[in-house]
């Protein structure tokens, strides 16, 4: 009976060691930005939400007072709904590129010109009038 317990313990220990190894090699890439995808969107201020702080200890929406949920596109035109926070209301109609990392979400964004958008993304929007 004792050898059966030792076998079960050994198998369990091996599984735990294997899981730790897998996490050690895969999780850092989820957090360091190496698996980031760039998405492009146009700011629509009708889709802005003000984050109301209830004064609690844990704020799951972060410390940013505004959030946007916008339809965004990768360089191939694949659509994805993305939510991100900002410290201020952004200028309506501008285009931005967003760096999106699995688990973390949007880690940064920058304003871009319409001409800088990939062709597959430009086809989703009307060219701005000069």
Tens-digit pLDDT profile for residues 33-67: 567 899 999 999 999 988 765 554 444 455 778 89
Q: Identify which of 4-18, 19-33, 51-65, 66-80 has the greatest average pLDDT.
A: 66-80
Q: What integer best gives the mean pLDDT of the chain?
A: 83
In a domain, residue 129? The reply is: no
Round to whole Å and give the CA distance between 82 and 7: 48
CB atoms within 10 A of CB 119: 9
Do both 22 and 80 map to the same domain? no
pTM value is 0.68
Question: Which residues constitute the domain of residue 1?
Answer: 1-31
Do both 43 and 83 map to the same domain? yes
């Amino acid at each position: 009976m004792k050898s059966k317990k030792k076998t079960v313990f050994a198998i369990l220990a091996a599984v735990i060691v294997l899981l730790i190894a897998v996490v050690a090699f895969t999780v850092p890439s989820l957090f360091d930005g190496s698996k980031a995808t760039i998405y492009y969107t146009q700011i629509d201020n009708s889709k802005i939400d003000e984050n109301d702080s209830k004064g609690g200890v844990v704020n799951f929406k972060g410390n940013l007072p505004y959030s946007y949920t916008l339809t965004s596109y990768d360089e191939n035109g694949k659509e994805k709904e993305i939510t991100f926070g900002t410290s201020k209301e952004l200028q309506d109609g501008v285009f931005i590129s967003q760096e999106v990392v699995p688990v973390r979400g949007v880690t940064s964004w920058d304003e871009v010109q319409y001409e800088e958008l990939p062709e597959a993304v430009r086809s989703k929007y009307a060219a701005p009038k000069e």
